[in-house]
Amino acid sequence: RVGNGPPTYIRDVAKVEDSHQIQTNVVRVEGKRQVYIPIYRQPGANTIAVVEGIKAQLKPILERIKGINLDVVMDQSVYVRQAISNLVQEAALGFLLAAAMVFIFLRSARPTGIVLMALPLAVLGSLIGLYFTSQTLNAMTLGGIAVVIGLLIDESIVVLENTARHLELGATPREAALIGASEVMRPLTIVTITISVVFFPIVFIGGIAKFLFAPLAMAVIFAIWTSRLLASTFVPVSAARFFRARKIVGEAHRLPWFESLRDHYTRALDRCLQLRRPGLALTAVAFILSMSIFALIGTELFPQTDAGQFTVKVRATTGLRVEKTEELIAQIEKAIGAVVPEKERKQVISNIGVLLDWPAAYTPNSGPQDAFVLVQLGQHHARSTLSYVNELRKKLPRQFPGIEFNFDTGGMLSAALNGGLPSPINIQIEGNKLEVAHEIAEKIKRYAQTVPGAVDVRIQQRLDAPQINIDVDRVKAAQVGLTQEEVVKNIVTALNSSINFAPSFWIDEKNGNDYFIGAQYRENDIQSINTILDIPVTGKDQPTPVALRTVAKFSRGTAYSEINHLNITRVTDVFVNVQERDVGSVARDIERYIDKIKNDRALVPEGYSIQMRGEVQTMHESFRSLGFGFFLAVLLVYLVMIVEFRSFLDPFIVMFAVPLGLIGVAWMLFLTHTYLSIQSMMGIIMMVGIVVSFSVLMVDFANRILAEAAEKNERKTSRDAIAEAAAIRLRPILMTGLAAILGLTPMAIFGGANIPLARAVVGGILAALVLVLFVVPVLYVFFKRDKVVAVS
């Protein structure tokens, strides 16, 4: 109704239709416009369970909406399942290799069969522990079990080997099982405690390291203690039941190749014991050189893995309409298709522009000129994801000059670890005036582009978004009965919809669906700025329309495309990706330039600061936490062994296995071109608990020999005792070391994200396995001074 006149129907002045808001976001799936519904799981929810639940609900939904098709176009659980499957396969292969080694050393299917039965029981114990601590089966918990596959049979191997030795000396199976198990219970207890203790520092560290490795640590601890329980119950009982008595045979008839190896080892050890000081000096030099190797090893937060997908982020000229951006993306999709053949890709999804609502929080796009193209490869793609990205990184900028491209190959895990940032290196310039901060960012960008390995260097924020400024003259508006708010509402209604400030609802009684009701102009009615100038403006006190030009002034200008804050302070972001070089080295080169300019007030004015954040900052914090964890683990292991040995000296000798293991870690990472990451740092911590077991077996048995000699009033020097202990314990040390190495070998080769962890552990065990056999006896004699020792 207008005034007191007759009623006027909406159909007489407007067209009513079931429509949509003005489109600012377009999604294309396989080159066609689609309605795309991304679904995110809640924190703590199981990815596979969520995906299965969604798929189960699709069928009943489809039955209700005839003529509409719903397809799952992107399923991240595929890679979760694949990672779990790979871990299970690697663990199974490692176990078979370790079992084959047991058979070779003991020449009998019976001990091998006992080991084959003990391992599943140990894994079952770990799974039960995980269940009662509300942990799920995921890549980290299964990875923890896979990592300790070799360790789970180590304790069984030690018991079985000692039982077999007593059988060869003429004991009955029952006697051999009882004596063999009782002799090694103490060192095995020490070993189990030390391996458990190395994971204790994870309780004190925070951040990503704790988030990643706490489930892994729990899986390892549950498994290793179950293995310890089996080694003292199931294994000796099985040995007494299934082993057969043997005739007393000479050493030379037991295992010819091993006896030959032991003879060579005994002679070499005797030579080392004669040349103790030169041997220790040579070991010290090797340790120092190896520690210097760490400086040559690159660093990264987490190892790159082939996630089977990559994202191409595209930024066109600021202010480009979403329709024009869509045309550009269609051409880019064709260019991607020319590089990635159809048989190699599963899906291509393009997201263009940004929806002006809460979903904007889930997209990296900041305007109609932005888009990202997600390419999902087939499960068995011939080329790696990185090779496709490297080729596209060269071709796309040449084909589309003036368009900004950057690439993301990280997948879900990398996105979670770096806080969702688009690049591993993020330099933030803090300061209130964005123009000044942008000038500083441009200097950093130009330098970063010259750094080897730095690619996709760009500034996130743009300052040149085209804008029409409408300045309402409040005096003129008041003279015609309008307020500034009423003028703005009229403009918004014309250019967008009244739903933005005065949404109304209507519920369809037939289907129960609710609809927004709002007024808006037809999009094609807005042809030029003159159309905007002539927008009729009405208000509560001014029912007669007034042209907008009579109460407002217009001017063209530019605006910020986005404004970002950190702790209330405005920040400008420079993002850098890395190619064919480690993140740490590229970041160090850029940091040198930042350190050079940040105190120069001509380049960085007062009130502005430059910080490197993102993955690099997280990496430094994680390395500090894990470094603290390493030293705390060493200290705790030493304190535990003081209690067990009732001595300060013996644990000190035993702990020398740790620096010997570090020699192997350094060379393994260096020779295999494996970067130092939180995975390899965790491998170093795990290595501490494993390698000390070699020296524990040797030192404990040497002390036992000295104690028995004292009881019999026999004269025996520390040199005699350690030489005898080394010869007798050579076989179990080799077997346990090789079992751990063989159990981890598949993971060290095929383990994806777990490769650095496995290689660090394997390298440490390899070096310690060889060096402990010579260096620990030398240290034992050196510190005990070859005196006649009487042990009460």
* Per-residue pLDDT tens digits for 119-149: 888 889 998 998 898 887 777 788 788 888 8
Q: Distance (Å, rounded) from C-alpha 660 to C-alpha 443?
A: 46
The residue-averaged pLDDT of 4-30 equals 83
Question: CA nearest 227: which of 150, 130, 155?
Answer: 155
Beta-carbon contacts of 420 under 8 Å, excluding residues fewer than 6 positions away, are none
Q: Which residue has the tokens 């743009």?
A: 462
Report the 10 Å Cβ neighbour count for 356: 13
Q: Distance (Å, rounded) from C-alpha 256 to C-alpha 234?
A: 30
Q: Distance (Å, rounded) from C-alpha 647 to C-alpha 702?
A: 14
Q: Distance (Å, rounded) from C-alpha 682 to C-alpha 201?
A: 11
Query: What is the gyration radius of the CA atoms in the chain, in angstroms?
Result: 35
From start to end of 583-730, where are the E strands? 609-613
The structure's pTM equals: 0.83
* Cα separation of the two ends of the chain: 111
Q: Is the pLDDT of residue 281 over 90?
A: yes
Residue-wise pLDDT tens digits, 444-475: 999 999 999 999 999 999 998 898 899 999 99
- pLDDT category at 413 given cuts 50, 70, 90 is low
Question: Percent of the chain at pLDDT above 70?
Answer: 95
Q: Distance (Å, rounded) from C-alpha 757 to C-alpha 760?
A: 5
What's the Cα-to-Cα distance from 220 to each of 49, 195, 295, 649, rounded to whole Å? Answer: 25, 9, 30, 29
Q: Is the pLDDT of residue 502 over 90?
A: no
Give the bridge partners for 430, in sequence order: 571, 609
* 616 in Cβ contact with 424 (< 8 Å): yes
Q: Distance (Å, rounded) from C-alpha 518 to C-alpha 19?
A: 10
Q: What is the DSSP letter of 676?
A: B
Is 563 in a helix, a strand, or coil? Answer: coil
Per the model's pLDDT, the better-predicted residue between 114 and 786 turns out to be 114
The residue-averaged pLDDT of 645-674 equals 93
Per the model's pLDDT, the better-predicted residue between 216 and 666 turns out to be 666
Structure confidence at residue 411 (pLDDT): 64
Q: Is the pLDDT of residue 1 over 80?
A: no
Is 420 in a helix, a strand, or coil? Answer: coil
- pLDDT category at 531 given cuts 50, 70, 90 is confident
Which residue type occupies 243? F
Handedness of CA 590, 593, 595, 597 (dihedral sign): negative
**Tokens standing for 581?**
């070089």
Q: Is the pLDDT of residue 789 over 50?
A: no
Residue-wise pLDDT tens digits, 683-736: 998 898 889 888 988 998 898 888 888 888 888 888 999 999 999 888 888 888
Question: Percent of the chain at pLDDT above 90?
Answer: 35
Residue-wise pLDDT tens digits, 34-87: 888 888 777 767 777 888 888 888 888 888 777 788 888 777 777 677 777 777
Q: Is the pLDDT of residue 441 over 50?
A: yes
Q: Distance (Å, rounded) from C-alpha 115 to C-alpha 132?
A: 26
Structure confidence at residue 217 (pLDDT): 87
Q: Is the pLDDT of residue 252 over 50?
A: no
Structure confidence at residue 253 (pLDDT): 41
Residue-wise pLDDT tens digits, 353-394: 988 776 677 788 888 999 999 998 887 788 888 999 999 999
Residue ranges of the alpha helices (H) in 139-172? 139-147, 149-168
* 327 in Cβ contact with 314 (< 8 Å): no
Report the 10 Å Cβ neighbour count for 9: 8
Q: Is the pLDDT of residue 574 over 80?
A: yes
Q: Distance (Å, rounded) from C-alpha 234 to C-alpha 122?
A: 11
The residue-averaged pLDDT of 298-306 equals 86
Question: CA nearest 399: which of 456, 321, 333?
Answer: 333
Kindly list the structural domains of the chain, giving each domain's residue range(s) and its CATH number in brackets, ordered by start: 1-36+306-409 (3.30.70.1430), 79-301+619-784 (1.20.1640.10), 466-559 (3.30.2090.10)
- Please calculate the CA angle 696-698-699 and round it to the nearest 5 degrees: 70
Per the model's pLDDT, the better-predicted residue between 750 and 569 turns out to be 569
* 693 in Cβ contact with 772 (< 8 Å): no
Strands 425-430 and 564-566: unpaired
Q: Which of 216-225, 299-308, 315-324, 782-791 has the lowest mean pLDDT?
A: 782-791
Q: Distance (Å, rounded) from C-alpha 155 to C-alpha 150?
A: 10
Q: Distance (Å, rounded) from C-alpha 272 to C-alpha 492?
A: 88
Which residue type occupies 455? V
Is 208 in a helix, a strand, or coil? Answer: helix
* 312 in Cβ contact with 422 (< 8 Å): no
**Tokens standing for 643?**
């209690």
**Torsion, Cα of 124, 125, 131, 133 (10° steps):** -160
Q: Distance (Å, rounded) from C-alpha 774 to C-alpha 605?
A: 61
Structure confidence at residue 247 (pLDDT): 54
Chain mean pLDDT for the chain: 86
Helix, strand, coil share of the chain (percent; to 5): 60, 15, 25
Question: CA nearest 300: which of 610, 594, 588?
Answer: 588
